[in-house]
Protein backbone atom coordinates (compact mmCIF):
# COMPACT_ATOMS: atom_id res chain seq x y z
CA UNK A 1 0.00 0.00 0.00
CA UNK A 2 1.13 3.56 -0.60
CA UNK A 3 1.69 6.47 1.76
CA UNK A 4 -1.91 7.72 1.73
CA UNK A 5 -3.43 4.27 2.19
CA UNK A 6 -1.04 3.44 5.01
CA UNK A 7 -1.90 6.67 6.79
CA UNK A 8 -5.62 5.98 6.35
CA UNK A 9 -5.27 2.46 7.70
CA UNK A 10 -3.29 3.66 10.72
CA UNK A 11 -5.91 6.34 11.46
CA UNK A 12 -8.67 3.73 11.31
CA UNK A 13 -6.68 1.55 13.71
CA UNK A 14 -6.32 4.49 16.10
CA UNK A 15 -10.06 5.09 16.03
CA UNK A 16 -10.81 1.40 16.62
CA UNK A 17 -8.32 1.11 19.44
CA UNK A 18 -9.71 4.24 21.09
CA UNK A 19 -13.20 2.76 21.53
CA UNK A 20 -13.85 2.56 25.27
CA UNK A 21 -13.93 -0.96 26.70
CA UNK A 22 -16.08 -1.93 29.61
CA UNK A 23 -14.67 -4.56 31.94
CA UNK A 24 -17.07 -5.19 34.80
CA UNK A 25 -17.69 -1.76 36.21
CA UNK A 26 -14.58 -0.19 34.76
CA UNK A 27 -14.49 1.83 31.60
CA UNK A 28 -11.13 1.66 29.87
CA UNK A 29 -10.06 4.13 27.20
CA UNK A 30 -7.08 2.62 25.38
CA UNK A 31 -4.78 4.64 23.18
CA UNK A 32 -1.96 3.78 20.82
CA UNK A 33 1.13 5.34 19.31
CA UNK A 34 1.69 4.31 15.72
CA UNK A 35 4.83 4.71 13.64
CA UNK A 36 4.54 4.10 9.92
CA UNK A 37 7.32 3.52 7.42
CA UNK A 38 6.88 2.68 3.75
CA UNK A 39 9.38 0.27 2.24
CA UNK A 40 11.90 2.03 0.01
CA UNK A 41 13.37 0.24 -2.99
CA UNK A 42 16.30 -1.88 -1.90
CA UNK A 43 15.74 -1.22 1.80
CA UNK A 44 16.39 -4.16 4.08
CA UNK A 45 13.64 -5.26 6.52
CA UNK A 46 15.61 -4.35 9.65
CA UNK A 47 16.16 -0.79 8.41
CA UNK A 48 12.47 -0.56 7.56
CA UNK A 49 11.45 -1.71 11.03
CA UNK A 50 13.92 0.70 12.58
CA UNK A 51 12.36 3.62 10.70
CA UNK A 52 8.87 2.57 11.79
CA UNK A 53 10.14 2.22 15.32
CA UNK A 54 11.72 5.68 15.30
CA UNK A 55 8.43 7.13 14.08
CA UNK A 56 6.63 5.32 16.89
CA UNK A 57 9.06 6.70 19.49
CA UNK A 58 8.45 10.17 18.04
CA UNK A 59 4.67 9.59 18.35
CA UNK A 60 5.17 8.74 22.03
CA UNK A 61 7.43 11.73 22.53
CA UNK A 62 4.69 13.97 21.16
CA UNK A 63 2.39 12.70 23.89
CA UNK A 64 1.16 9.42 22.43
CA UNK A 65 -2.24 8.52 21.04
CA UNK A 66 -1.19 9.63 17.58
CA UNK A 67 0.35 8.60 14.32
CA UNK A 68 3.72 9.64 12.93
CA UNK A 69 4.84 8.80 9.40
CA UNK A 70 8.53 7.97 9.09
CA UNK A 71 9.17 10.73 6.55
CA UNK A 72 7.79 13.26 9.05
CA UNK A 73 10.60 12.59 11.48
CA UNK A 74 12.56 15.40 9.94
CA UNK A 75 15.88 16.48 11.31
CA UNK A 76 16.32 20.16 12.00
CA UNK A 77 19.23 21.91 10.33
CA UNK A 78 21.39 21.77 13.47
CA UNK A 79 20.66 18.09 13.85
CA UNK A 80 21.70 17.46 10.25
CA UNK A 81 25.03 19.13 10.99
CA UNK A 82 25.48 16.89 14.03
CA UNK A 83 24.54 13.83 12.01
CA UNK A 84 27.20 14.55 9.41
CA UNK A 85 29.72 15.25 12.20
CA UNK A 86 28.91 11.84 13.67
CA UNK A 87 29.41 10.11 10.31
CA UNK A 88 32.72 11.91 9.85
CA UNK A 89 33.80 11.03 13.40
CA UNK A 90 32.96 7.34 12.87
CA UNK A 91 35.00 7.25 9.70
CA UNK A 92 38.00 9.32 10.69
CA UNK A 93 38.62 8.53 14.34
CA UNK A 94 36.81 11.50 15.84
CA UNK A 95 35.23 9.37 18.53
CA UNK A 96 36.74 8.82 21.93
CA UNK A 97 35.72 7.41 25.26
CA UNK A 98 36.39 9.30 28.46
CA UNK A 99 36.20 7.51 31.79
CA UNK A 100 34.83 8.57 35.16
CA UNK A 101 35.35 6.56 38.35
CA UNK A 102 32.53 5.59 40.70
CA UNK A 103 33.71 5.37 44.28
CA UNK A 104 32.31 3.22 47.07
CA UNK A 105 31.69 5.03 50.35
CA UNK A 106 34.76 3.25 51.70
CA UNK A 107 36.82 4.97 48.99
CA UNK A 108 37.52 1.94 46.81
CA UNK A 109 36.80 2.19 43.08
CA UNK A 110 33.45 0.47 42.57
CA UNK A 111 33.41 0.88 38.78
CA UNK A 112 34.42 3.21 35.95
CA UNK A 113 31.89 4.64 33.50
CA UNK A 114 32.79 5.04 29.83
CA UNK A 115 31.41 8.27 28.30
CA UNK A 116 31.44 8.88 24.57
CA UNK A 117 33.04 11.99 23.10
CA UNK A 118 32.70 13.22 19.54
CA UNK A 119 35.05 15.71 17.90
CA UNK A 120 34.14 17.60 14.76
CA UNK A 121 36.40 20.28 13.24
CA UNK A 122 38.57 20.12 16.32
CA UNK A 123 35.64 20.90 18.62
CA UNK A 124 33.91 18.63 21.06
CA UNK A 125 30.18 18.14 20.48
CA UNK A 126 28.17 17.94 23.71
CA UNK A 127 26.82 14.39 24.29
CA UNK A 128 23.50 15.92 25.32
CA UNK A 129 23.27 17.12 21.70
CA UNK A 130 24.77 14.27 19.71
CA UNK A 131 23.31 11.26 21.58
CA UNK A 132 19.68 12.25 20.83
CA UNK A 133 20.55 12.81 17.14
CA UNK A 134 22.32 9.46 17.02
CA UNK A 135 19.23 7.84 18.54
CA UNK A 136 16.89 9.57 16.14
CA UNK A 137 18.88 8.55 13.07
CA UNK A 138 19.70 5.03 14.17
CA UNK A 139 23.43 5.83 14.13
CA UNK A 140 23.51 5.00 17.84
CA UNK A 141 23.65 1.30 16.93
CA UNK A 142 27.05 1.72 15.25
CA UNK A 143 28.25 4.20 17.86
CA UNK A 144 27.12 1.86 20.61
CA UNK A 145 28.95 -1.10 19.11
CA UNK A 146 32.05 1.06 18.93
CA UNK A 147 31.56 1.98 22.62
CA UNK A 148 31.24 -1.68 23.57
CA UNK A 149 34.46 -2.58 21.77
CA UNK A 150 36.45 0.34 23.17
CA UNK A 151 35.01 -0.03 26.66
CA UNK A 152 35.81 -3.74 26.93
CA UNK A 153 39.29 -3.01 25.53
CA UNK A 154 39.88 -0.50 28.31
CA UNK A 155 38.67 -3.06 30.87
CA UNK A 156 41.29 -5.46 29.50
CA UNK A 157 44.02 -2.81 29.78
CA UNK A 158 43.03 -2.17 33.41
CA UNK A 159 43.32 -5.92 34.09
CA UNK A 160 46.72 -6.11 32.42
CA UNK A 161 48.16 -3.30 34.52
CA UNK A 162 46.97 -5.07 37.67
CA UNK A 163 44.04 -2.78 38.51
CA UNK A 164 40.99 -4.81 37.38
CA UNK A 165 37.84 -2.69 37.61
CA UNK A 166 34.26 -3.05 36.53
CA UNK A 167 33.62 -1.02 33.38
CA UNK A 168 30.18 0.50 32.82
CA UNK A 169 29.15 1.13 29.22
CA UNK A 170 26.01 3.08 28.21
CA UNK A 171 23.62 1.35 25.83
CA UNK A 172 20.58 2.71 24.04
CA UNK A 173 17.28 1.12 23.28
CA UNK A 174 17.94 0.86 19.52
CA UNK A 175 20.96 -1.33 20.27
CA UNK A 176 18.99 -3.67 22.47
CA UNK A 177 16.13 -3.83 20.00
CA UNK A 178 18.43 -5.48 17.53
CA UNK A 179 18.83 -9.27 17.63
CA UNK A 180 22.48 -8.56 16.80
CA UNK A 181 23.07 -7.04 20.21
CA UNK A 182 24.11 -10.23 21.99
CA UNK A 183 26.47 -11.04 19.12
CA UNK A 184 28.04 -7.59 19.44
CA UNK A 185 28.38 -8.04 23.20
CA UNK A 186 29.91 -11.52 22.88
CA UNK A 187 32.21 -10.24 20.15
CA UNK A 188 33.45 -7.39 22.31
CA UNK A 189 34.00 -9.68 25.33
CA UNK A 190 35.90 -12.23 23.25
CA UNK A 191 38.01 -9.68 21.34
CA UNK A 192 39.06 -7.95 24.52
CA UNK A 193 39.32 -11.19 26.50
CA UNK A 194 37.75 -9.81 29.68
CA UNK A 195 35.58 -11.69 32.18
CA UNK A 196 31.90 -10.68 31.66
CA UNK A 197 31.62 -9.85 35.35
CA UNK A 198 33.88 -6.87 34.69
CA UNK A 199 31.39 -5.35 32.26
CA UNK A 200 28.23 -3.50 33.21
CA UNK A 201 25.64 -2.07 30.82
CA UNK A 202 24.03 1.24 31.76
CA UNK A 203 20.48 1.35 30.51
CA UNK A 204 19.49 4.85 29.56
CA UNK A 205 16.05 6.35 29.78
CA UNK A 206 15.15 5.80 26.14
CA UNK A 207 15.38 2.10 26.87
CA UNK A 208 13.42 2.07 30.06
CA UNK A 209 10.57 3.80 28.25
CA UNK A 210 9.59 0.68 26.43
CA UNK A 211 10.74 -2.77 27.47
CA UNK A 212 9.83 -4.92 24.48
CA UNK A 213 10.24 -8.70 24.36
CA UNK A 214 13.49 -8.50 22.39
CA UNK A 215 14.93 -5.94 24.81
CA UNK A 216 14.01 -8.08 27.81
CA UNK A 217 15.39 -11.24 26.19
CA UNK A 218 18.67 -9.47 25.34
CA UNK A 219 18.97 -8.17 28.88
CA UNK A 220 18.29 -11.59 30.34
CA UNK A 221 20.95 -13.17 28.14
CA UNK A 222 23.44 -10.47 29.11
CA UNK A 223 22.74 -11.20 32.79
CA UNK A 224 23.06 -14.94 32.22
CA UNK A 225 26.56 -14.59 30.81
CA UNK A 226 27.47 -12.55 33.89
CA UNK A 227 27.34 -8.97 32.61
CA UNK A 228 25.96 -6.43 35.14
CA UNK A 229 22.98 -4.19 34.41
CA UNK A 230 22.58 -0.68 35.80
CA UNK A 231 19.47 1.47 35.60
CA UNK A 232 20.78 4.94 34.71
CA UNK A 233 19.35 8.30 35.82
CA UNK A 234 16.73 6.65 37.97
CA UNK A 235 13.91 8.70 39.43
CA UNK A 236 13.27 11.21 36.66
CA UNK A 237 11.79 10.99 33.20
CA UNK A 238 10.29 7.71 32.16
CA UNK A 239 11.98 5.41 34.63
CA UNK A 240 9.44 4.09 37.06
CA UNK A 241 9.03 1.62 39.88
CA UNK A 242 7.67 -1.16 37.71
CA UNK A 243 11.01 -1.20 35.86
CA UNK A 244 12.64 -2.15 39.14
CA UNK A 245 10.35 -5.13 39.26
CA UNK A 246 10.80 -6.22 35.64
CA UNK A 247 14.47 -5.57 35.00
CA UNK A 248 17.08 -8.06 36.17
CA UNK A 249 19.27 -5.11 37.18
CA UNK A 250 22.23 -5.24 39.53
CA UNK A 251 22.69 -1.52 40.07
CA UNK A 252 20.51 1.54 40.54
CA UNK A 253 21.93 4.95 39.65
CA UNK A 254 20.01 7.80 41.26
CA UNK A 255 19.70 10.82 39.00
CA UNK A 256 21.83 13.82 39.86
CA UNK A 257 18.71 15.99 40.10
CA UNK A 258 18.24 14.60 43.63
CA UNK A 259 21.90 15.00 44.57
CA UNK A 260 22.49 18.60 43.47
CA UNK A 261 19.97 19.96 46.00
CA UNK A 262 21.42 18.11 49.01
CA UNK A 263 21.77 18.57 51.92
CA UNK A 264 19.31 21.50 52.24
CA UNK A 265 16.37 19.96 50.39
CA UNK A 266 15.07 17.58 53.02
CA UNK A 267 12.37 16.19 50.75
CA UNK A 268 14.95 15.17 48.16
CA UNK A 269 16.98 13.68 50.98
CA UNK A 270 13.96 11.61 52.04
CA UNK A 271 13.49 10.43 48.45
CA UNK A 272 17.16 9.46 48.11
CA UNK A 273 17.02 7.59 51.39
CA UNK A 274 13.83 5.78 50.42
CA UNK A 275 15.01 4.87 46.93
CA UNK A 276 18.31 3.65 48.33
CA UNK A 277 16.56 1.37 50.75
CA UNK A 278 14.28 0.10 47.99
CA UNK A 279 17.17 -0.58 45.59
CA UNK A 280 19.14 -2.39 48.26
CA UNK A 281 16.13 -4.49 49.29
CA UNK A 282 15.94 -5.58 45.65
CA UNK A 283 19.57 -6.66 45.82
CA UNK A 284 21.01 -3.76 43.84
CA UNK A 285 24.04 -1.60 44.48
CA UNK A 286 22.82 1.99 44.78
CA UNK A 287 24.93 4.77 43.27
CA UNK A 288 24.29 8.51 43.48
CA UNK A 289 25.25 10.51 40.40
CA UNK A 290 26.61 14.03 40.18
CA UNK A 291 28.15 14.51 43.61
CA UNK A 292 30.08 17.78 43.57
CA UNK A 293 30.62 18.76 47.20
CA UNK A 294 31.70 17.20 50.47
CA UNK A 295 28.42 18.12 52.16
CA UNK A 296 26.49 16.34 49.41
CA UNK A 297 28.64 13.27 49.95
CA UNK A 298 28.02 13.39 53.71
CA UNK A 299 24.25 13.54 53.10
CA UNK A 300 24.48 10.60 50.69
CA UNK A 301 26.40 8.61 53.27
CA UNK A 302 23.66 9.38 55.79
CA UNK A 303 21.06 8.25 53.25
CA UNK A 304 22.92 4.96 52.99
CA UNK A 305 23.97 4.87 49.31
CA UNK A 306 26.67 2.35 48.43
CA UNK A 307 28.69 4.48 46.05
CA UNK A 308 28.83 7.84 44.29
CA UNK A 309 30.07 9.39 41.09
CA UNK A 310 30.78 13.01 40.35
CA UNK A 311 33.19 15.89 39.89
CA UNK A 312 34.03 15.74 43.63
CA UNK A 313 35.89 12.46 43.06
CA UNK A 314 37.08 12.94 39.49
CA UNK A 315 35.97 14.47 36.19
CA UNK A 316 35.71 12.22 33.15
CA UNK A 317 39.28 11.66 31.88
CA UNK A 318 41.08 10.08 28.95
CA UNK A 319 41.95 6.39 28.97
CA UNK A 320 45.64 7.05 29.61
CA UNK A 321 44.77 9.43 32.45
CA UNK A 322 42.49 6.78 33.94
CA UNK A 323 45.18 4.10 33.82
CA UNK A 324 47.60 6.45 35.59
CA UNK A 325 44.94 7.49 38.13
CA UNK A 326 44.15 3.86 38.98
CA UNK A 327 47.82 2.94 39.27
CA UNK A 328 48.51 5.86 41.56
CA UNK A 329 45.64 4.89 43.88
CA UNK A 330 46.89 1.29 43.91
CA UNK A 331 50.28 2.46 45.13
CA UNK A 332 48.86 4.55 47.99
Q: Among 53, 58, 200, 232, which residue interacts with ligand C2E (rule: CB under 6 A)?
A: 232
Give whichever of 35 and 310 is closer to Mg ion, judged by the CB atom: 310
Give whichever of 10 and 201 is closer to ligand C2E, judged by the CB atom: 201
Task: Spell out the residues 6+ positions from residue 243 whose beta carbon is closer than 8 angstroms to its own.
Answer: 208, 211, 231
Q: Which of residues 282-301 bind Mg ion (CB under 5 A)?
A: 289
101 is an interface residue for ligand C2E by CB under 6 A: no
User: Which is it for strands 33-36 and 66-69: parallel, antiparallel or unpaired?
Assistant: parallel
Residue 165 interacting entry, from ligand C2E, Mg ion, none, C-beta within 5 to 8 Å by type? none
316 is an interface residue for ligand C2E by CB under 6 A: yes
Residue 175 Cβ vs Mg ion, minimum distance, rounded to whole Å: 14
User: Which is it for strands 26-28 and 33-36: parallel, antiparallel or unpaired?
Assistant: unpaired
Question: Are the C-beta atoms of residues 116 and 95 closer than 8 Å to each other?
Answer: yes
User: Which is it for strands 26-28 and 21-23: parallel, antiparallel or unpaired?
Assistant: antiparallel
Question: Which helix (H) or strand (E) segment is 156 a member of?
Answer: helix 140-160
Q: Which of residues 198-227 bind Mg ion (CB under 5 A)?
A: 202
Residue 131 interacting entry, from Mg ion, ligand C2E, none, C-beta within 5 to 8 Å by type? ligand C2E
Question: Are the C-beta atoms of residues 176 and 238 closer than 8 Å to each other?
Answer: no
Q: Which of residues 13-52 bind Mg ion (CB under 5 A)?
A: none
Give whichever of 59 and 288 is closer to ligand C2E, judged by the CB atom: 288
Q: Among 58, 145, 233, 319, which residue interacts with ligand C2E (rule: CB under 6 A)?
A: 233
Q: Among 6, 95, 127, 280, which residue interacts with ligand C2E (rule: CB under 6 A)?
A: 127
Per CB under 6 A, the segment of 12-20, 170-178, 219-227, 274-282 that binds ligand C2E is 170-178
Per CB under 6 A, the segment of 23-31, 47-55, 176-184, 310-318 that binds ligand C2E is 310-318
Residue 230 Cβ vs Mg ion, minimum distance, rounded to whole Å: 7
- The values of phi and psi at residue 191, to 5°, are -55, -45
83 is an interface residue for ligand C2E by CB under 6 A: no
Question: Are the C-beta atoms of residues 279 and 241 closer than 8 Å to each other?
Answer: no
Give long-range contacts, CB 8 A cutoff, 24+ apart: 263-269: 263/295, 263/296, 263/298, 263/299, 269/299, 269/302, 269/303
Size of the site for ligand C2E (CB under 6 A): 25
Q: Among 10, 116, 188, 286, which residue interacts with ligand C2E (rule: CB under 6 A)?
A: 116
C-alpha angle 292/297/302, rounded to 5°?
Answer: 155
110 is an interface residue for Mg ion by CB under 5 A: no
For residue 64, the 8-state DSSP code is S
Q: Which of residues 253-282 bind ligand C2E (CB under 6 A)?
A: 256
Q: What is the total residue count of the chain?
A: 332
Q: How many whole angstroms separate alpha carbon 138 and alpha carbon 30?
A: 29
**What DSSP line would sit under 14-53, residue for residue?**
HHHHHS-EEETTEEE----EEEE-PPPTT--HHHHHHHHH
Residue ranges that bind Mg ion, judged by CB under 5 A? 170, 202, 232-233, 289
Residue ranges that bind ligand C2E, judged by CB under 6 A? 100, 115-116, 127-128, 131, 140, 144, 147, 170-172, 202, 204, 232-233, 256, 289-292, 309-311, 316
Amino acid sequence: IDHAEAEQLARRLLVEIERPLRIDTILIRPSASIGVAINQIGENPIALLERADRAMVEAKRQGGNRLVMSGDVQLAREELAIESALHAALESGGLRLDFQPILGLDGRVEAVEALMRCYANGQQVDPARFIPVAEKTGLIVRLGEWSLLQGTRCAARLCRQGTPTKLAINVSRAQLLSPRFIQALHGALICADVPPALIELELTESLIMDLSETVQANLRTAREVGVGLAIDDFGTGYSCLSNLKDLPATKLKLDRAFVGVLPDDRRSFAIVKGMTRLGQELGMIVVAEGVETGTQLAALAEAGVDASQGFLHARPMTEDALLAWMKQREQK
